[in-house]
Structure 1
Amino acid sequence: MIPIKLFAYLAEAIAPEISVALPTEIKKEDLLAIVAKTYPNYAAEIETCSVAVNQNFVQDETISLTKTDEVALIPPVSGG
C-alpha cells in the first residue's frame, strides 16, 4: 500500500490521505485509473488530477514508487 495525499475538495470529500495498492512501476494515467476505480464516486475528478511524487510533478513517464515516497493528487483549481 502506498499512501497518497489528496488536496482541495478531494481531501474534504474522501480524506486528506488514502492508501492504495500500486505496483512499484506505474504510469501517471494508470495510477489515476487505479485510484479512480477505488473511489468510483469521484472517478471523473480523480482522472483530471495532477500527480506529484516527492513534490515533483509527474508528466507521462513511468514512475518508480516505494513506500517512503510522497505521492499527491492535486485537482485542477480555478479562481478569480
Structure 2
Amino acid sequence: MMEIQVKLFAMLQEQLGDSVAVEVPAQPTADQIKGAVGQLAPNVRQMVSTARLAVNQEFAGNGQLKLSAADEVALIPPVSGG
C-alpha cells in the first residue's frame, strides 16, 4: 500500500478541499483511487464515480497505474457551462 495525494477540482474541491491523501495499492487502478476518495465522504461518491482521473496532466485509463511519489494525481469531475 502507498499513500498518494489526489488534487481535486470543481465541486469535489468545494466539498473536500484542494487535495486529499488516500491509501491505495502499490499499482492502483483508476477505480481503486476513485473508490478511496469516495470512502472519505459518502456524499461525493456519485460525483467521484463520474470524474476522470489524470496522472501528470494526462487522462489515465482503467488499467493498473505505476505511480511514484513525484506523480501528480488529479480527479476532474465533468463540468458544463453555458
Query: What is the TM-score with the length of structure 1 in the denominator?
Result: 0.90
2:47 equivalent in structure 1: 45
2:25 equivalent to 1:18: no
1:6 is displaced (CA, Å) by 0.1
Deviations 1:25-79, CA, capped at 9 Å, x for gaps: 0111121112111221211111110000011100212111122110000000111
Q: Residue 32 of structure 2 aligns with which residue?
A: 30
Please name the residue that 1:3 is paired with. 5
Aligned 8 A contact 2:56 2:73 in 1: yes
Unpaired runs of 5+ in structure 1?
Answer: none
Aligned mates of 2:5, 2:36 — CA distance in 1: 13
The residue correspondences of 1:63-78 to structure 2 (distance < 5 A) are 63-78=65-80
Runs of 4+ in structure 1 off by over 6 angstroms are: none
Q: Distance in 2 between matches of 1:43 and 1:59?
A: 19
SS of residue matched to 1:62: coil
Q: Percent identity?
A: 39
